[in-house]
Structure 1
Amino acid sequence: MLRDEVRKYTEYELQYETQRELYHYSCAQAILHGSNDYYNIGLQPKTLKLIVPFGAGMCTGNTCGMLTGGIAVIGALFAEEMPTQNLNMKEITRYWTEQFESEFKNLNCSLIKEINLKPDERCGSLILKAADILEEVVEKYKDDFTM
């Protein structure tokens, strides 16, 4: 399961929830790194660094890093070379976004945390839930893989 791969990147957050200095990966990184492993995408370490600024709502509490990490995965799995050929990828991205918002009740990092977490909780459990949703989305569209 994708959740198991993503868990490897959130284990420190799950273990040391209140000690942020011990975390190794953001929400966006956990989703992309775990998916890279699970789907054998083949992204190299330098390429994986591209997602770092998307964690914590692009470091501003805005658009959630779990969402943007998932969008990066969808791009890696489903994007075509020519922008005009990306109709399936666009549909998949819309579907992922709808499923994500349905579960977390918002797309905004700060509001997702406010709605879904207790004051002292961190996002580890939410990241695993996002991984479950992303796996369902990818499974639904797996016949459209471009890799």
Structure 2
Amino acid sequence: MIKDHVFKYYIGQSKSCSESLFLAACEDRNIPVTPECLKLIGAFSGGVCCGSLCGAVAGGAAAIALRTGEMDLDAHGNPEMREKVKAFVTRFQEKAGSELCQNVKEKYFVEGDRCLATVELAADVLEEFLD
């Protein structure tokens, strides 16, 4: 399960929420991660660095995108990926109450563990959308 890998990245390696969920999902599903992918997903840390979209949601969406459809498909040519990402975000919203970092952080942030509970929640939700 994706959740089994989250702690290693989030707490053990002090990765961000976006990096941790992305790396955990990729490890669990044997999706190769390039340094460029990891650098790119880091931009979504801390709610796109401004408290907006939760980084764990962004990391999950990125994993779905890599796993769904052929690599040469762009977003407009990959309706399956778009539907899965939309459903993932919707399910996360239902479980967490919001997809916005600032709102989710208020609810789940714990000193010392940071947003581990949020990343674990996102990992549980992501399981439904990565086949």
With the shorter chain as reference, the TM-score category is 0.7 to 0.9
Q: Distance in 1 between matches of 2:21 and 2:77?
A: 25
Tell me the matched-pair count.
128
Normalised by the size of structure 2, how large is the TM-score? 0.88
Q: Deviations over 1:39-88 (max 9, x none)?
A: 11111233311111111101111111011111100110014423343111
* Runs of 4+ residues over 6 Å off in structure 1: none
**2:2 touches 2:24 (CA, 8 Å); kept in 1?**
yes
1:54 aligns to what? 44
2:60 aligns to what? 70
Residues 1:28 and 2:18 are matched in the alignment: yes
Q: Deviations over 1:68-120 (max 9, x none)?
A: 111100110014423343111111011001101001101110111113446x4
Coordinate RMSD, CA, aligned: 1.7
Structure with the higher fraction of residues in helix conformation: 1
1:90 aligns to what? 82
Amino acid in the other structure paired with 1:126: T
Q: Distance in 2 between matches of 1:100 and 1:62?
A: 15
Normalised by the size of structure 1, how large is the TM-score? 0.79
Amino acid in the other structure paired with 1:4: D
Residues 1:8 and 2:39 are matched in the alignment: no
Say which one has the larger Rg.
Answer: 1
Q: Distance in 2 between matches of 1:40 and 1:46?
A: 17
**2:109 touches 2:117 (CA, 8 Å); kept in 1?**
no
Amino acid in the other structure paired with 1:38: D
- Residue segments in structure 2 that go unaligned for 5+ positions in a row: none
